[in-house]
Amino acid sequence: MRVLSYNIHKGIGGRDRNYRLERIIEVISHEQPDFVCLQEVDRNVKRSRFHDQPERLAESLGFQHRLFQLNVQVQTGGYGNLLLSRWPIIEHHQASLTLRQRKPRAAQWGVVTTPFGNCRLVNWHLGLIEHERHWQVRRLLEHHNFRNRPHLPTLIIGDTNDWRNTLGTGPFAVHGYQHVTSPPSRYR
């Protein structure tokens, strides 16, 4: 299975500051993933021409199965997380990961029926402060809808903002999870 996570920043380029969703589609398409976990996906917001990005991305990339989670209201729309799957999502949940007055954050997850059996796929976008991120991991792992399927293989994917790699050796390790990737430091 090929999995891709990408904070698309509403389709606005980090270098040229231009809105071009086609760029995002090209990058994702080139990788040919089975699962895509996107963060900061706009829907009905002026800065992204009032596009329904979840719909456009799913359609352009050929994904029939998707979950969109609105995290932040902006004008008449907002932005959030988008999970795309080649295979059916047979169950889905979400949880608020907002700590007090911090920026709204959330996790979404689905149970996906793959040719290899069912698995749970989590997509999230964590906060910028370390103690906030640690709290968010614990909140997800202790959530009643997350804990009710402990036997399922689980992939927790997304923008963790964990530049110092403290989650893999901290709250994930305590709960028995393996940390298999590290954030690329060359972009910071």
Sheet holding 106-114, edge to edge: 89-96, 106-114, 117-125, 154-159
**Per-residue confidence (pLDDT) for residue 177, from 0 to 100:** 86
- Evaluate if residue 188 carries a pLDDT over 50: no
pLDDT in tens, 132-152: 999 999 999 999 999 988 899
pLDDT in tens, 21-67: 999 999 999 999 999 999 999 999 999 999 999 999 999 999 999 99
Grade residue 187 by pLDDT with cuts at 50, 70 and 90: very low
How does the average pLDDT of the chain come out, rounded?
A: 93
Residue 23: burial class (beta carbons within 10 Å; 0-12, 13-18, 19+)? middle
> In CATH, what class is 3-180?
alpha beta
pLDDT in tens, 102-138: 999 999 999 999 999 999 999 999 999 999 999 999 9
Neighbours of 153 (CB within 10 A): 11
pLDDT in tens, 63-88: 999 999 999 998 899 999 999 999 99
Helix axes 53-61, 21-31, angle to 10 degrees: 40
- 175: closest CA among 147, 133, 152, 145? 147
- 140: closest CA among 105, 104, 89, 183? 105
CA distance 56 to 25: 9
CA distance 134 to 123: 16
pTM of the model: 0.93
